[in-house]
């Protein structure tokens, strides 16, 4: 399995500020994703973090609001910019690791963000 | 687009009872995941299935590719099994991205 850590685990932030969430994996992985889970909702994919190039964003998510970095194969950051209460969610990092023909997907512990 | 439906949305059981959660999807898939999310928010991957049946401890997951249906069973349920269980499917047409079901909230009472 892949061990994923996220920092911070939770935060309470003021409207208009920005928060950067870090995701660290214990081994090199093929793909890294960032998801959002709004209260009472299922997970929604924000973007695929691409190593050494710009992230690929899903419909409804833009780089100015959610800038993402992935400087290497084990680390990525997601920034939630100019936050509003609607951004209060759990943000999850997820990775896919390929082992032979098998692909396994793993999830981080999540970052619980509350915007006041 | 793949639609993923889970049932029931909520389930309450007494400790020791057998629990079944169902997942149906609309388009052929390359893999199906069962995930567990505890109140703190972190997600644990329980199973990844592409066919047949898998067992881990008291958990059993089955999938019927022809019927586009999967079930997650919990035998001898325990209060620590209380969590949200999420079905997610991966399809090549969607670039191998996951599509998630709405989750089943399970509460096991002592």
Residues of A in contact with B90 (CB under 8 A): 105
Considering only CB atoms, which chain A residues are within 8 Å of B86?
42-43
**Structure-derived torsion over alpha carbons of residues B73, B46, A78, A84, reported in degrees to the nearest 10:** 20
Does residue A111 register a pLDDT over 70? Answer: yes
Is the pLDDT at B64 greater than 90, yes or no?
yes
Examine the pLDDT at B101 and tell me if it is beyond 90: yes
Q: Note the pLDDT tens digit of each residue in A49-98.
A: 988 888 999 999 999 999 999 999 999 999 999 999 999 999 999 998 88
pLDDT at A52: 83
Q: B43–A107: do the CB atoms touch at under 8 Å?
A: yes
Question: Model confidence at A110, in pLDDT bands (50, 70, 90)?
Answer: very high
Which of A76, A49, A79, A48 has its CA nearest to residue A64?
A79
The pLDDT assigned to B2 comes to: 67
Question: Looking at A67-71, B24-28, B75-79, B81-85, which range is the least confident one?
Answer: B24-28
Length of chain A (residues): 116
**Any bridge partners for residue B33, and if so which?**
B48, B88
Are B16 and B74 in contact, with CB atoms under 8 Å apart? no
State whether A107 and B41 contact (CB < 8 Å).
no
Contact assignment for B86 to A110 by CB distance below 8 Å: no
How confident is the model at residue A103, as a pLDDT? 75
Residue A106 contacts B, CB cutoff 8 Å: yes
A105 chain-B contacts, CB cut-off 8 A: 33, 45, 48, 90, 98
Please give the share of chain B, as a percent, with pLDDT higher than 70.
98
Using the Cβ of B107 and the Cβ atoms of chain A, whether some distance falls under 8 Å is answered with: no
Band of residue B95 on the pLDDT scale cut at 50, 70, 90: confident
- Chain B residues with beta carbon closer than 8 angstroms to that of A30: none
d(CA B2, CA B91): 8
> Looking at CA atoms only, how far is residue A110 from chain B in angstroms?
5
Q: Do B98 and A45 touch (CB under 8 A)?
A: yes
Would you say A95 and A3 are in contact if contact means Cβ atoms under 8 Å apart?
Answer: no
**pLDDT confidence of residue A2:** 75
Residue B86 in contact with partner chain A when CB distance is under 8 A: yes
- Torsional class of B30: left (φ above 0), alpha (ψ -120 to 50), beta (otherwise): alpha
């Amino acid at each position: 399995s892949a061990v994923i850590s996220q920092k911070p685990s939770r935060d309470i932030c003021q409207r208009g500020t920005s928060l950067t969430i870090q995701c660290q994996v214990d081994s090199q992985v093929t793909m890294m994703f960032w998801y959002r889970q709004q209260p009472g909702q299922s997970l929604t994919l924000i973007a695929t973090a691409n190593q050494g190039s710009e992230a690929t964003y899903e419909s409804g998510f833009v780089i100015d609001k959610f800038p993402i970095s992935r400087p290497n194969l084990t680390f990525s950051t997601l920034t939630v910019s100019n936050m509003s209460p609607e951004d209060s969610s759990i943000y999850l990092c997820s990775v896919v690791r390929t082992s032979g023909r098998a692909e396994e997907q793993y999830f981080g512990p999540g970052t619980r963000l509350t915007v006041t | 687009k793949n639609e993923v439906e889970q049932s029931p949305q909520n389930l309450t059981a007494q400790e020791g009872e057998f629990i079944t959660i169902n997942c149906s999807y609309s388009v052929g898939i390359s893999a199906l995941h069962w995930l567990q999310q505890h109140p703190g928010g972190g997600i644990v991957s329980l199973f990844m299935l592409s066919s047949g049946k898998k067992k881990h401890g008291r958990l059993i997951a089955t999938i019927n590719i022809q019927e586009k249906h999967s079930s997650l069973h919990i035998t001898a349920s325990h209060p620590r099994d209380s969590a949200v269980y999420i079905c997610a499917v991966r399809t090549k047409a969607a670039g191998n991205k996951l599509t998630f079901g709405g989750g089943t909230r399970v509460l096991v009472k002592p």
